[in-house]
């Protein structure tokens, strides 16, 4: 168990860049940490200014990413204490922005641009009189060619690719003994909030709490070793979630999410269990997979190097056997969940989720309910409901292993 912990820590270190880089970042950041207290966008589509108010000055890096056009601002340890609605509405060349933890010790703001833009100026103004410190980024319009050239020159290398490689190597040395490993994957995290209820409840928080509850229940049986893909409010790339399951030689991968639909689309309630398929079981399932698969884009991950897209390669190698076990577990889970909570009218669906594409790990994705439904939000935020649902999920896992342990081990 400790070995797995070390590997996970090693991997998280790599997610943040090299561990030496992380140490350097920690040194550069003031001991007390900086807090972002307000943010705004000003100007028009000739020149747009993004301003972040802080309680001290910091160094930051700014670069652009294409498809869709984004401007990324990376900082060392910054905490965000911004007004709830910050970033949902844009102005000028910025249509919206997001912020949050991107990797341990690394905070990020992603500005969605309305078209190709260039970073004209960036500067930091120290605190003076009663004004907070300010970080300022000025954007001006440019053409696509210039944008692509600038993006290629400035974007830092994607750290997670090397993490994935190390993970696979580590897997070869990890050995296959011990109790079966269950990997629980709380969706989203950090800069990627996932769905947001009208009341402000965020998917990333709901699913982390339920994931921890489930982990606790499974650990109590002493029959399993449990690994979470994230233990706190940190962003983890989709491929890394798959790799964490593979490197730990997981016998089951459970991704936990909560859905949301717009008022236009109507009303929906209840839990749904998804497995992976090339062709979605229906249009809503396809739409949901698209939405969940955008997590990396939302967080400002550079996906331009398609040859490193592990998920696509993995999918071609997927074993029919793994899919059979995924289906079997999904049915067991539906059975147990049905007695614990309200299910969606079609409780079992399939679509092309990146996070379910490990060729050798039976995987399901559970949507606990709809954050767009006030009645579902009441359930999702209720400690009693979380307890019951986590209990039903733990039962399903035990039942699955009791019935199929010989085959899965
Ligand atoms: Zn989600």
Domains assigned to the chain: 32-142 (2.60.40.3500), 159-408 (3.40.630.40)
Q: How far is the CA of 277 from the centre of ligand 1 (A)?
A: 18
Residue with tokens 């750290």: 159
Task: Report which DSSP code applies to 202.
Answer: B
pLDDT of residue 161: 38
Nearest to 241 by CA among 304, 155, 299, 288: 299
Q: What is the pLDDT along the chain (409 residues), one digit of tens a residue?
A: 334 443 444 344 333 333 334 334 344 444 468 999 999 999 999 999 999 999 999 989 999 998 899 999 999 889 999 998 899 889 999 999 999 988 888 899 999 999 999 999 999 999 888 899 999 999 999 999 999 888 877 666 544 433 433 344 344 444 456 899 999 999 999 999 999 999 999 999 999 999 999 999 999 999 999 999 999 999 999 999 999 999 899 999 999 999 999 888 888 999 999 999 888 999 999 999 999 999 998 898 877 655 445 555 545 555 778 888 999 999 999 999 999 999 999 999 999 999 998 888 999 999 999 999 999 999 999 999 999 999 999 999 999 998 875 554 4
Q: How far is the CA of 188 from the centre of ligand 1 (A)?
A: 6
Q: How many CB atoms lie within 10 A of CB 248?
A: 25
Q: How far is the CA of 396 from the centre of ligand 1 (A)?
A: 22
Q: How far is the CA of 203 from the centre of ligand 1 (A)?
A: 7
Q: How far is the CA of 64 from the centre of ligand 1 (A)?
A: 25
pLDDT of residue 234: 92
Encoding tokens for residue 236? 């983890």
Q: How far is the CA of 25 from the centre of ligand 1 (A)?
A: 30
Q: How far is the CA of 2 from the centre of ligand 1 (A)?
A: 30
pLDDT of residue 213: 98
pLDDT of residue 377: 97
Q: How far is the CA of 271 from the centre of ligand 1 (A)?
A: 13
Using CA atoms in the order 108, 111, 98, 18, what is the torsion angle rounded to 10 degrees? -20
Q: How far is the CA of 369 from the centre of ligand 1 (A)?
A: 11
395's CB contacts (< 8 A; 6+ apart) are: 336
Q: How far is the CA of 146 from the centre of ligand 1 (A)?
A: 34
pLDDT of residue 372: 95
Q: How far is the CA of 291 from the centre of ligand 1 (A)?
A: 8
pTM of the model: 0.78
Q: How far is the CA of 103 from the centre of ligand 1 (A)?
A: 18
Q: How far is the CA of 388 from the centre of ligand 1 (A)?
A: 21
pLDDT of residue 293: 92
Encoding tokens for residue 223? 């029959």
Q: How many CB atoms lie within 10 A of CB 1?
A: 11
pLDDT of residue 176: 52
Phi and psi torsions of 42, nearest 5°: -130, 165
Taking the C-alpha atoms of residue 231 and residue 237, their distance in angstroms, rounded to an integer, is 14
- 378 CB-contact burial (10 Å; exposed 0-12 / middle 13-18 / buried 19+): exposed
Taking the C-alpha atoms of residue 164 and residue 162, their distance in angstroms, rounded to an integer, is 5
Q: How far is the CA of 144 from the centre of ligand 1 (A)?
A: 31
Q: How far is the CA of 197 from the centre of ligand 1 (A)?
A: 12
282's CB contacts (< 8 A; 6+ apart) are: 346, 349
Q: How far is the CA of 276 from the centre of ligand 1 (A)?
A: 15
CB of 299 closer than 8 Å to CB of 192: yes
């Amino acid at each position: 168990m400790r070995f797995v912990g070390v590997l996970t820590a090693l991997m998280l270190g790599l997610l943040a860049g090299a561990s030496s880089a992380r140490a350097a970042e920690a040194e550069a950041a003031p001991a007390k940490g900086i807090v972002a207290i307000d943010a705004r966008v000003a100007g028009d589509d000739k020149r747009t200014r993004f301003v972040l108010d802080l309680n001290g000055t910091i160094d930051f890096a700014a670069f652009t990413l294409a498809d869709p056009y984004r401007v990324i601002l990376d900082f060392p340890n910054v905490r965000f204490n911004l007004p709830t609605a910050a970033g949902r509405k844009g102005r000028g060349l910025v249509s919206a922005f997001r912020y949050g933890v991107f990797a341990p010790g690394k905070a990020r703001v992603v500005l969605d641009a309305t078209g190709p833009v260039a970073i004209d100026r960036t500067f930091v103004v120290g605190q003076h009189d009663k004004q907070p410190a300010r970080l300022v980024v000025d954007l001006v319009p440019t053409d696509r060619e210039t944008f692509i050239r600038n993006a290629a020159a400035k974007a830092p290398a994607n750290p997670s690719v090397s993490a994935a490689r190390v993970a696979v190597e580590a897997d070869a040395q990890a050995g296959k003994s011990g109790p079966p490993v269950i990997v629980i994957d709380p969706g989203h995290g950090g800069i990627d909030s996932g769905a947001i209820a009208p009341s402000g409840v965020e998917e990333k928080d709901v699913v982390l709490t339920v994931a921890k509850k489930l982990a606790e229940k499974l650990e109590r049986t002493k029959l399993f070793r449990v690994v979470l893909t994230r233990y706190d409010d940190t962003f983890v790339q989709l491929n890394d979630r798959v790799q964490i399951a593979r490197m730990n030689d997981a016998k089951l991968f459970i991704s936990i999410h909560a859905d949301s639909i717009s008022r236009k689309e109507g009303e929906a309630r209840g839990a749904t269990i998804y497995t992976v398929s090339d062709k979605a079981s229906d249009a809503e399932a396809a739409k949901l997979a698209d939405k969940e698969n955008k997590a990396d884009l939302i967080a400002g991950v550079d996906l331009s190097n398609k040859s490193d897209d592990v998920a696509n390669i993995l999918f071609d190698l997927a074993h029919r056997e793994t899919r059979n076990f995924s289906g079997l577990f999904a049915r067991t889970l539906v059975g147990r969940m049905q007695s614990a909570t309200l299910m969606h009218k079609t409780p079992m669906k399939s679509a092309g989720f990146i996070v379910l594409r490990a060729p050798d790990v039976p995987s399901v994705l559970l949507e606990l309910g709809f954050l767009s439904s006030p009645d579902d939000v009441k359930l999702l935020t209720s400690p009693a409901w979380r307890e019951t649902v986590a209990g039903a999920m733990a039962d399903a896992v035990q039942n699955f292993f009791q019935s199929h342990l010989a085959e899965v081990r």
